[in-house]
Each structure stands twice: as structure tokens, then as C-alpha cells.
A and B are shown apart, each in its own frame.
Chain A
Amino acid sequence: MADFVMPKLGADMSAGTLVAWHKKPGDVVRRGDIVAEVETDKGVIEVEIFTSGTIERLLIQPGESVPIGTALATVREEAAAMVGMPSATPKPPAPVKPAAPPTPPAPHVPTGEIGRVRISPSARELARKLEVDPSTVQGTGPRGAITREDIERAAAVRAAPAPAAPPLAADRLTRMRQTIAAAMTRSKREIPHYYLSTTIDMHHAMTWLTEENLKRPVTERLLYGVLLLKVVALALREVPELNAVWADGQVVTSQAIHVGVAISLRRCGLIAPALHDTDRQSLGELMGKFRDLVSRARAGSLRSSELSDPTITVTSLGEQGVETLYPIIYPPQVAIVGFGKVVERPWVADGQVVARPVITATLSADHRVSDGHRGGLFLAAVDRLLQEPSKL
């Protein structure tokens, strides 16, 4: 039996309100299915399940607000469901299908085991001090590992009064600002940022893009922002320590590259959901998914994995006329990349001063995880990749 829990969908999300169930007891669910809708400070999110099986019980009713990690439903896992099935001829369990995308990051973190509980040594020590039973705590770390934060939260929830009724929708903007404020304050307090920037010649990229878009129907045209997302993802393969999260006092690098994209909600705040497996998509695929993501972000129908999975964030204020950004890292990520406006500037090419479109790329990175040398190599890779856009 497994619990389907209130997920953590942002660095400072502490609770969520169940809006609706998409499944009922007895329904068969597959990994990746949308099971419920949850309202957070960033809107209503469709929550996916990462266990295949059968819904046993719904434990929370729509309208109830509960802390993250709280069991919302119980699920009889696929293997257990097979054991319980009446069958004249015993059959071997059906093979579990490979995980369908979106794929959550599968970083490695050293953890201890208490029965079936994955918990790091320091979190286990904290649990002992705070008298929290780890077997009652839902881990939010890699592969469900219990972190020190999970233990602290469990101790706080135990001591806290019942959660208050959710604020009205009219308060959502205020709540989002509060959420952003909390995340950014935590970032500035805990993360020793360092900042690097470089100016990149966009002549080849913009020329290629113009020619490429001439060949494409209007519905499949590319924005230059998609090139930027792709080069960031590819550059991360060369400097993988920037594609990571800081969890439980250590860096956890991610094999998968899920670039979070900062999307303005037009006077209603900001959200940065993930484009899953950004490095493995063609530019056309990426553009289609980017369009879909922006549309759903503004319509308030993002999925839980899109909020929980980003391994780095890319932000751009070029359209607002900003030339250089100094972005703040979104915890628990360890880096953020900013792009400014593409502007015409004098540029020396082949010994001649010529007018060229250029862009300023900025890296803000966590000095606990990387140094300026590696950050510089990352920006150099971004620059190099943009000089050969046809290979993206």
C-alpha cells in the first residue's frame, strides 16, 4: 500500500487545498495520471501520481487544506493488486512499464534505510532529537528520501493547530507575492550567489532563425527564446554540477535536465515550470511544449511535476527592454540563467567593426556547489553553441 500525498510544489510551499478528485476508489491509475487538483499560492495545479495501482481510499475531501506530505489517498500498488486478484491460473506479475515522461529527476543521494524508509543520517539524528517517528513522515527528497526539512516540518505540524481555511481567490496575488518573497528571502539568506555575465554575438543564431522560419508554417515557427533554452540545456551536459538541487546540506546533481522557464502571469506574478528533458528535444518539439506550457501556466492548469522538477531556471526580460539581469536562484536549485534584450551593437568580426545583434547572458550560481571557473565554462559553452544554431 502506498500513500498519495500532498506534494511540495515550490521551495516555500507548506500546505495546499484539495480542489477536486479526478479518480475514485477502485479506479486503476498509472504513473503520470492526473489524480487530483490542488490549489497552492501559485494557482490550481493538476497533481500526477507516480505509483501505478488501484485507488483504495480517498482520505481528504475537496476544500480541505493540509500540510505537504499529508496522505490524500491510499493506493494499492500494482504488484499488490495483482496478488489480490482472483485468478484460476497463477500468472507472473505484469512487467511494470517504463516511466512515461515527464520523468522526475533521479539524482543520487546517500541515504540510510529504516525498514522501507529512506532517510539520510543527519535527518535520522534530527528525528531522534525531535522525537519524530520517520516511518510516519513522507519524504520529499530524491526518490522519496526523508530530509531534515521533512523532519522539521513533521515536528512543526504535530505542534501546530489545525490549518486555517484557505484564503479567497481575491487574495491569490498577495499570497503569490508572499510566496515569492519567502523563496527569494530564503535564497538570498542561504545561498552564496556569484554572478558572471558575457556578451554573445547572435548574428548566426538570428540569421539561421529567420531562414528557418521562412521554411516553417506559421504554426511551427520558432522563437529565439527556444534556442536559448536548448543551448542552456546542452551546456549543462558540459557543466553538470549546475544542474542540481541543494538538499539536506549537500548538492544532488540530476541526470535529467529539466529547465524551468520563468513565465510572467501578466500582473499576477510569476511561475517557473519545467520543460522536461529539455536537452533531448528537437527545437520544433521544444517550441510546441513551450507554447503549451505558457498557455497552461496562464490558464492555471499546470501539472505537479512541472512545478517540482526544474533543475535550473532560465529567465529573460529582453522583451521589457532589460539588457542585463542579475537573477536570484530559486531554491533548492543551484543556478539560474538570465538573458537580456537582443540589441544591435558595434562588434569586431574578422578585424572589422560591424553592427551585430548581441545578447547578454548572466549566470547566478551557488558558490557552495560551483566556482566561477566552472560557471565561466558554462557561459562559454552557451556562446559556442549559439554560433552553430543548425546543430541544435
Chain B
Amino acid sequence: MTPNDIRATVLRALGGVAPEADLKQIQPSVGFREQLDIDSMDFLNFVIGLHKELGVEIPERDYPKLSTLQGCMEYLTPLQDVQHRK
């Protein structure tokens, strides 16, 4: 999966929890909560969305790493590389 694929997947999962959001306007380094007014339930659904799309099991302690688009890319890209090598 290319970084662009991962980015698209993250945005799709975000769109699932905040369908009213304009995802083209997402700033990579600003927190989703601040930009999209999402809460912990939305964030959990976002993580579940990533799990379903990418097949990755994300432990709760890693949630803070997924708080921005940039953080998601940095966290998920190596995981996808590992999965790909398997």
C-alpha cells in the first residue's frame, strides 16, 4: 500500500465518523479533534474503521499517535510495510 493509499484510507475512515467534514481542508499537523469537533466515541469509530480497512490492531496506548493526519501516516506506513513483507 502506498502512502497515498494510506492517506486515502485514513480520510475515508474520518469521513465515516464526520460525514459533514470537508476532508480536503484537513491540515496534516493539526489534531482531528480540533479540526472536526470529534469526541472519544468518534475517535474509537475512526480506529475501528482503520482496523477494518487495513487489518491492523491498534492498541489503546497508541491512540495519541493517531491524533493528526501526519501522525497517522507516520504510524501506519511502517505497519503496512511489515504486513506487506509477511
Residue of A nearest to B60 (CB): A213
Interface contact B60-A266, CB-CB below 8 Å: no
Interface size class of A (residues with CB under 8 A): 10 to 19
Q: Is A275 an interface residue (CB 8 A)?
A: no
Question: Which B residues are CB-close (under 8 A) to A223?
Answer: 40-41, 44
Once the chains are docked, how many angstroms separate the CA of A290 from the CA of B42? 12
Interface contact B40-A225, CB-CB below 8 Å: yes
| Residue from B18, B44, B58 in contact with A266 in the complex, judged by beta carbons closer than 8 Å | B18
Question: Which A residues are CB-close (under 8 A) to B45?
Answer: 291, 295
Q: Is A294 an interface residue (CB 8 A)?
A: yes
Question: Which A residues are CB-close (under 8 A) to B58?
Answer: 218
Once the chains are docked, how many angstroms separate the CA of A221 from the CA of B48? 10
Q: Is B64 an interface residue (CB 8 A)?
A: no
Interface size class of B (residues with CB under 8 A): 10 to 19
Question: Which B residues are CB-close (under 8 A) to A290?
Answer: 41
Once the chains are docked, how many angstroms separate the CA of A218 from the CA of B45? 9
Interface contact A221-B41, CB-CB below 8 Å: no
Question: Which B residues are CB-close (under 8 A) to A319?
Answer: 33, 39-40
| Residue from A214, A264, A291 in contact with B60 in the complex, judged by beta carbons closer than 8 Å | A214
Q: Is B14 an interface residue (CB 8 A)?
A: no
18 more CB-based (< 8 A) A-B contacts, given A225-B41, A319-B39, A319-B40 = A213-B60, A214-B59, A214-B60, A218-B47, A218-B51, A218-B57, A218-B58, A219-B51, A221-B44, A223-B41, A264-B37, A264-B39, A266-B18, A290-B41, A291-B44, A291-B45, A295-B45, A319-B33
Q: Is B20 an interface residue (CB 8 A)?
A: yes
Once the chains are docked, how many angstroms separate the CA of A225 from the CA of B45? 15
Question: Which B residues are CB-close (under 8 A) to A210?
Answer: 60
